[in-house]
Amino acid sequence: MIRFEGVSYSYPDDRQVLNGIDLQIEKGTFTTIIGDNGSGKSTLVRHMNGLLTPSDGTVSVCGMGTFDPENLWEIRQMVGMVFQDPHSQAVGATVEEDVAFGPENLALKREEVRIRVSDSILDVGLEGFEEHLLMNLSGGQLQKTALAGVLAMKAEYLVFDEVTSMLDQDSRSQVLEIVLKLNRMGKTIVYVTHHMEEVLASDRVIVMEGGSVAIDGSPADVFRELYNSGHRIPPLMELVFRLQDSGILDRGVLPVNANSLMEGLCQSM
Amino acid sequence: MSIDVKGLCFSYGKGKNEVQVLKDITFSIDSNESVGIVGKVGCGKTTLIKHLNGLLMPDSGNVTVDGLPSSKKEVCKKVGILFQHPSKQLFCSTVFEDIAYGPTNFGVRGDELDSCVHEAIREVGLAEEILERSPFTLSGGEMRLVALAGVLSSFPDYIVLDEPTSGLSSSGKANLFRILDSLKNNGVGIVLVSHQLEDVLDVVDRLIYLDNGKIAFEGTPSEYLASMPSPVPQVTELMRGLKRSGIDVKDDIFSVDHAFEEIYAAWSEKKGVL
Amino acid sequence: MAEPLFSYVRGNSFLHNMDPRVKIISVMCLSILIFNISVLSHLLVLAVLFGMLTNIAGVSISVAIRSLRPMVIFFCFIFLIHLFFTDGSPIFSLPFSPTYEGLEKGTVVTGRFVLLILFGSLLTSTTRPALITSGIEHLLRPLPLGKLGTTSFEVATMMSLAIHFVPHLLWYVRQIKDAQMSRGLKYGHHPISGMLSLAIPALRGSMRMADDVALSMESRCYQGNYRTSLFEMKMAASDRFVCIFVVLGTALIIYA
């Protein structure tokens, strides 16, 4: 479990980005974090593996506090992180070299590194690209490489910081697909995104606003709350709520795509 | 006044490595309309817009802006381009310098330069305090607005935006479209390039769909929805599905309001019968 | 995207399978040799050696030649300097004429640089980037790097980062160039100021990219001390033989 207790964070120039966050990420869950630009999403998740440490309050991973540098080595093996820009997080020249970077740092046996690398590459569907140069890959393939890089660390918790925001639609859905698969395999996912549609896949949504948690709940509840308070939500969701409000559609269910909404409508009409 | 593209062909590479990216493209954009250019990634959208202000020259065919060939420097001033990934386009040490970059290249100096920059930053709705900051300390949304201000400060007659909504939150998107709308009302031609149909349908007068370097469709958004089998927005997909299953609704619509009215009407009718 | 210069070309030749340490040592020996040569015919011998090795490696010679392209202006420059500024018998009876001695000296000096780059590209095209760095890392181990506050692992990682960073930086520079040109900058007219206006943002951009990379490395437990290497290096008998042969050969040629 990742636990935030009263966490505040200010930049060296005193701009405060997080205000007293209390939060728990349970094992095995899939949490998405949304919020406007500048609401503190990235700052929040960078606390999860000790890249940032709170100015006030504590963050702990499985009981180990990130304030103690002695713990960081273990924490970072448990919490893997993938970042936004596909072009500036690669460390190796080829796919397999980059994926191997993490396990190499752990000073594992070469055979173990090999197994982890090939397993992770298989998990993200990049088999056949092992020896390709990263500079010849597309943004989507680069992000998959980065993903394999954290998988090779055998991290339990995977934190994705707007990993799809520089990708096109097709690669975006491929990456999300892989993330979902990893969650089914038992990994705990924390997924920061701008794309509201991606939120539907998760168990829990956290909406950040001005450095605090504004809403925290299931996608259906969160979307409902956003809709009720006049925020923009994906068009299909907006339609669902309006149909629910006028009694055409049942309130209990939340159709997530055009097909499931159509089935729902055909039943009630 | 218009941008006219006639018979534009363009290839990258030479000899056996040659890849033809654009094939016989012809269209025009008036100075007070907004046009969307959509298509899948790799269909040639970005290559196409680089022709509109002379960054690339066609292999054959020609591009003129208000009658001037695109090789003229004036064209570069007339057509402003906002590229994808704003954080990769800002290159000065303060926001002021970055916004002043374009006008300076076009010979604007002194007080006039100052007023250009201030007008541009007001236009995108950012506070003037931001001018003294480094662009790299800004959030992603602010960076995009600064990049937009950097294009607007040269007072272009046309502005081309490549994937302007990627990485923006929904309120960021709404803000951007508000700015574009006011620009259009002031007679600036808008070209919106996107791989996401939903983002442009709402805001453009006309739509060009590029497929594999060719124009596969050109017309109004509603014509598009009525005639193109795919891709269409989710709401349209829903309406088409409902129609197929025998519910009497229009299927060439994409807005939530429209769709709701249609479904509500169909539902009340059914209910009335019961 | 075009194949980048100095990149690895997969293969299974004798050169590909040679221990990277031996290859690095050999290239170092060859460079020493090249700079001790002042006769054109000796350079030709090395050129023939290069031709043979490329043939053995099964690497197309055009790949190697292509790696010379960015340096063409430099080559022309040093060649012309020597051609015109060496004392000797003039080729034409003009007041400022190239000399025969200049022609020979220019060819030798330029030829040295050309050969140096060609052998370098032979190393990079037959060795995986990771093996080059871990080869260098092994060779650095005996040095007292600890006194300088670093480790051979750190040096090797820095080198591999520096190498693979270049293409990403070029990608970034292209984006800035487009943005600047579409905002009215004409590169053709003022090449020097054009270069400067790119260099500074590129430098700043590379520093920010470096920050990002640092985050990603830190997240993956990078500590700068002992690391496993994905690829194993095995010094076979043939490798030892080549190594001894090259080192002794070089020493003999230089001191004989």
Distance from CA of A193 to the nearest CA of B (A): 9
DSSP string, A206-234: EEEETTEEEEEE-HHHHHHHHHHTT----
pLDDT of residue C28: 92
Given a cut of 90, whether residue A248 has pLDDT beyond it is no
Interface membership of B101 toward C (CB under 8 Å): yes
Across the range C124-137, mean pLDDT stands at 85
More confident residue, B98 or B170: B98
Element (H, E) at B23: strand B19-30
β-pairing, B79-82 vs A79-82, is unpaired
What residues contact B195, with CB distance under 8 A and at least 6 apart? A168, A169, B38, B39, B40, B41, B45, B163
Distance from CA of A81 to the nearest CA of B (A): 19
Beta bridge partners of A64: A61
Interface membership of C189 toward B (CB under 8 Å): no
Question: What are the start and end residues of each CATH 3.40.50.300 domain in chain B?
Answer: 32-54+66-219
pLDDT of residue A169: 78
pLDDT of residue C1: 38
Task: Nearest chain C residue to A96 by CA: give it.
Answer: C230
Q: How far apart are CA A236 and CA A259, in angstroms?
A: 11
Across the range C133-142, mean pLDDT stands at 87
Q: Nearest 10 degrees: CA dihedral of A45, A50, A51, A53? A: 90
Element (H, E) at A78: helix A69-78
Tell me what the pLDDT averaged over chain C comes to: 84
* Confidence band for B147, pLDDT divided at 50, 70 and 90: very high
Across the range A198-220, mean pLDDT stands at 91
Q: How far apart are CA B219 and CA B59, in angstroms?
A: 26
* Confidence band for C94, pLDDT divided at 50, 70 and 90: confident
Give tens-digit pLDDT for B118-133.
Answer: 999 999 999 999 999 9
Largest Cα–Cα distance of chain A, in whole Å?
Answer: 63
Q: CB neighbours (10 Å) of residue B81?
A: 26
Flag whether the ipTM exceeds 0.90. Answer: no
Interface membership of B170 toward A (CB under 8 Å): yes
Phi first, then psi, for residue C227 (nearest 5°) are -130, 150
Task: Nearest chain A residue to C231 by CA: give it.
Answer: A110
Given a cut of 80, whether residue A155 has pLDDT beyond it is yes
Q: How far apart are CA B4 and CA B49, in angstroms?
A: 12
Given a cut of 60, whether residue C66 has pLDDT beyond it is yes
pLDDT of residue C3: 54
Determine, for residues B167 and A194 on separate chains, whether the beta-carbon distance falls below 8 Å: yes
Q: How far apart are CA C218 and CA A29, in angstroms?
A: 25
Q: CB neighbours (10 Å) of residue A205?
A: 26
Q: Which of A85, A113, A108 is nearest to A97 (CA)?
A: A113
Selecting from A239, A259, A269 the residue whose C-beta is nearest the C-beta of B267 gives A269
Find where tokens 């993200």 sit. Answer: A124
Q: Nearest 10 degrees: CA dihedral of C4, C6, C8, C14? A: 150
Three-state DSSP class for residue B250? coil
pLDDT of residue C221: 87
Q: CB neighbours (10 Å) of residue C199?
A: 11
Q: Looking at the whole model, is its pTM more than 0.90?
A: no
Determine, for residues A236 and B238 on separate chains, whether the beta-carbon distance falls below 8 Å: yes
Tell me what the pLDDT averaged over chain A comes to: 90
Distances (CA, A) of C178 to B3, B81, B82, B135, B156: 20, 9, 10, 18, 17
* Confidence band for C131, pLDDT divided at 50, 70 and 90: confident
Amino acid sitting at position A72: L
Across the range C75-86, mean pLDDT stands at 89
Given a cut of 60, whether residue C2 has pLDDT beyond it is no
Task: Nearest chain A residue to C172 by CA: give it.
Answer: A87
B106: tokens are 């076009």
Give tens-digit pLDDT for C166-186.
Answer: 777 777 788 888 888 888 777
Q: At what angle do helices A235-245 and B234-244 cross, to 10 degrees?
A: 50
pLDDT of residue C189: 61
Interface membership of A229 toward B (CB under 8 Å): no
What residues contact C71, with CB distance under 8 A and at least 6 apart? C113, C117
Distance from CA of A238 to the nearest CA of C (A): 37
pLDDT of residue C27: 93
Q: How far apart are CA B180 and CA C241, in angstroms?
A: 72
Chains that touch B (3 or more CB pairs under 8 A): A, C
Q: How far apart are CA A167 and CA B84, in angstroms?
A: 11
The answer to whether residues A152 and A105 touch, using CB atoms and an 8 Å cutoff, is no
Give tens-digit pLDDT for B56-108.
Answer: 999 999 999 999 998 888 888 899 999 888 777 888 889 999 999 999 888 88
Distance from CA of A97 to the nearest CA of C (A): 7
Interface membership of A233 toward B (CB under 8 Å): yes
Q: CB neighbours (10 Å) of residue C31?
A: 16
Q: Which of A82, A95, A101 to probe the C interface (max C CBs under 10 A)? A: A101
Interface membership of C113 toward A (CB under 8 Å): no
Given a cut of 70, whether residue B274 has pLDDT beyond it is no
Q: Residues 159-188, chain C: which have Cβ within 8 Å of B?
A: 172, 175-176, 178-186
Q: At what angle do helices C40-57 and C100-126 cross, to 10 degrees?
A: 20
Q: What percent of chain C has pLDDT over 70?
A: 94
Determine, for residues A235 and B245 on separate chains, whether the beta-carbon distance falls below 8 Å: no
Determine, for residues C220 and A102 on separate chains, whether the beta-carbon distance falls below 8 Å: yes
Phi first, then psi, for residue A85 (nearest 5°) are -85, 110
Given a cut of 60, whether residue C40 has pLDDT beyond it is yes
Interface membership of B146 toward C (CB under 8 Å): no
Element (H, E) at A17: strand A16-25
Q: Which of A62, A74, A57, A60 is nearest to A20 (CA)?
A: A57
Across the range B5-20, mean pLDDT stands at 84
pLDDT of residue C168: 75
Given a cut of 80, whether residue C51 has pLDDT beyond it is yes
Interface membership of C218 toward B (CB under 8 Å): no
Q: Which of A117, A136, A134 is nearest to C229 (CA)?
A: A117
Element (H, E) at A59: strand A56-61
Tell me what the pLDDT averaged over chain B comes to: 88
B266: tokens are 């169909």
Given a cut of 90, whether residue A232 has pLDDT beyond it is no
Q: How far apart are CA B26 and CA B40, in angstroms?
A: 19
Give tens-digit pLDDT for A7-52.
Answer: 999 988 778 899 999 999 999 999 999 988 778 999 999 999 999 9
Selecting from A83, A104, A117 the residue whose C-beta is nearest the C-beta of C216 gives A83
Please classify residue A124 by burial: count the beta carbons closer than 10 Å to its beta carbon, then call 0-12 exposed, 13-18 middle and 19+ buried.
buried
pLDDT of residue A122: 94
Q: CB neighbours (10 Å) of residue B67?
A: 8
Beta bridge partners of B36: B192, B207
β-pairing, B68-69 vs B79-82, is unpaired
- Positive or negative CA dihedral for A53, A55, A60, A61? negative
Q: Residues 118-147, chain A: which have Cβ within 8 Å of B?
A: none
User: Is the omega angle on the peptide bond into residue B231 within 30 degrees of 0, that is, cis?
Assistant: yes
Region B32-54+66-219: CATH code: 3.40.50.300
Given a cut of 90, whether residue B197 has pLDDT beyond it is no
Determine, for residues C181 and B92 on separate chains, whether the beta-carbon distance falls below 8 Å: no
Beta bridge partners of A10: A16
Q: Which domains does chain A have, with CATH numbers?
A: 2-218 (3.40.50.300), 234-269 (no CATH)
More confident residue, C98 or C27: C27
β-pairing, B2-12 vs A212-217, is unpaired
* Confidence band for C198, pLDDT divided at 50, 70 and 90: confident
pLDDT of residue A150: 92
Across the range A164-179, mean pLDDT stands at 87
Report how many helices (DSSP H) and strands (DSSP E) chain C contains, helices first: 10, 0
pLDDT of residue A112: 94
A167: tokens are 């990708």
DSSP string, B185-197: HTT-EEEEEES-H
Given a cut of 70, whether residue A107 has pLDDT beyond it is yes
The answer to whether residues C13 and C56 touch, using CB atoms and an 8 Å cutoff, is yes
The answer to whether residues B152 and B80 touch, using CB atoms and an 8 Å cutoff, is yes
The answer to whether residues A132 and A95 touch, using CB atoms and an 8 Å cutoff, is yes
Chain C neighbors of B55, CB-CB under 8 A: 178, 181-182
Find where tokens 């001005």 sit. Answer: A210
Chain B neighbors of A166, CB-CB under 8 A: 85, 166-167
A231: tokens are 């925020």
Q: How far apart are CA B94 and CA B82, in angstroms?
A: 19
Task: Nearest chain B residue to C185 by CA: give it.
Answer: B105
Helical H segments across chain B, by residue range: 45-52, 73-78, 95-105, 110-123, 140-152, 170-185, 197-201, 221-227, 234-244, 256-273
pLDDT of residue C65: 81
Chain B neighbors of C208, CB-CB under 8 A: 136
Determine, for residues C172 and A93 on separate chains, whether the beta-carbon distance falls below 8 Å: no
DSSP B32: T
DSSP A162: S
Selecting from C163, C221, C232 the residue whose C-beta is nearest the C-beta of A76 gives C221
Find where tokens 């003229």 sit. Answer: B72
Helical H segments across B28-130, by residue range: 45-52, 73-78, 95-105, 110-123
Task: Nearest chain B residue to A234 by CA: give it.
Answer: B170
pLDDT of residue A146: 94
Task: Nearest chain A residue to C225 by CA: give it.
Answer: A105
Distances (CA, A) of B142 to B103, B127, C121: 21, 11, 44
Determine, for residues C209 and A87 on separate chains, whether the beta-carbon distance falls below 8 Å: yes
Determine, for residues B91 and C176 on separate chains, whether the beta-carbon distance falls below 8 Å: yes
Three-state DSSP class for residue C78? helix
Q: Which of A35, A4, A7, A36 is nearest to A19 (CA)?
A: A7
* Confidence band for A102, pLDDT divided at 50, 70 and 90: very high
pLDDT of residue C191: 64
Distance from CA of A85 to the nearest CA of B (A): 10
Determine, for residues C183 and B101 on separate chains, whether the beta-carbon distance falls below 8 Å: yes
Q: Which of C26-40, C159-173, C195-209 is predicted most confidently?
A: C26-40
Given a cut of 80, whether residue C224 has pLDDT beyond it is no
What residues contact B19, with CB distance under 8 A and at least 6 apart? B11, B12, B13
Q: CB neighbours (10 Å) of residue C167?
A: 19
